[in-house]
Amino acid sequence: NAGVTQTPKFQVLKTGQSMTLQCAQDMNHEYMSWYRQDPGMGLRLIHYSVGAGITDQGEVPNGYNVSRSTTEDFPLRLLSAAPSQTSVYFCASSYNYLSLGNQPQHFGDGTRLSIL
């Protein structure tokens, strides 16, 4: 039972480079989301998806792009990396509220990203 799988676990980029953080879940969850965690700021929502083909912006979407072509996968793309995007990124999934009411989100182990 893999749960939520994020790759890579660590990455160092140069300013201006692009990359994709991968996220996959095997629990058939409709809802998936990406957060960034910075010291003293908790987790902030970047983008989310309520199902395949549907995505929307969260609190801090600038500089990031997402797509949801399947229920299982929800990749996060950094278009042109900036030092301000140095952070720990978490992917999470859950059933939609409309399916089962409030549900805990299941988190991946995180990706530690450094932009030089």
Partner 1 sequence: AQKITQTQPGMFVQEKEAVTLDCTYDTSDQSYGLFWYKQPSSGEMIFLIYQGSYDEQNATEGRYSLNFQKARKSANLVISASQLGDSAMYFCAMSPRGGPNTGNQFYFGTGTSLTVIP
* Sites of contact with partner 1 (CB under 8 A): 30-31, 33, 35, 40-45, 48-50, 56, 58, 88, 90, 92, 94-98, 101-107, 109-110, 112
Smallest distance, Å, CB 80 to partner 1? Answer: 26
The candidate with the shortest Cα–Cα distance to 94, out of 4, 16, 2, is 4
Is 17 or 107 the residue whose CB approaches partner 1 more closely?
107
Is 85 or 94 the residue whose CB approaches partner 1 more closely?
94
Q: Is 47 exposed, middle or buried (0-12, 13-18, 19+ CB in 10 A)?
A: buried
In sign, the C-alpha dihedral spanning 99, 104, 107, 113 is positive
- Those residues whose C-beta lies under 8 Å from the C-beta of residue 95, and which sit 6 or more positions away, are 29, 30, 31, 103
Smallest distance, Å, CB 30 to partner 1? Answer: 7
Smallest distance, Å, CB 84 to partner 1? Answer: 19
Smallest distance, Å, CB 27 to partner 1? Answer: 13
Question: Which letter does DSSP use for residue 40 in this model?
Answer: T
Is 3 or 83 the residue whose CB approaches partner 1 more closely?
3
Is 77 or 106 the residue whose CB approaches partner 1 more closely?
106
Q: Which residues pair with 22 in a beta bridge?
A: 7
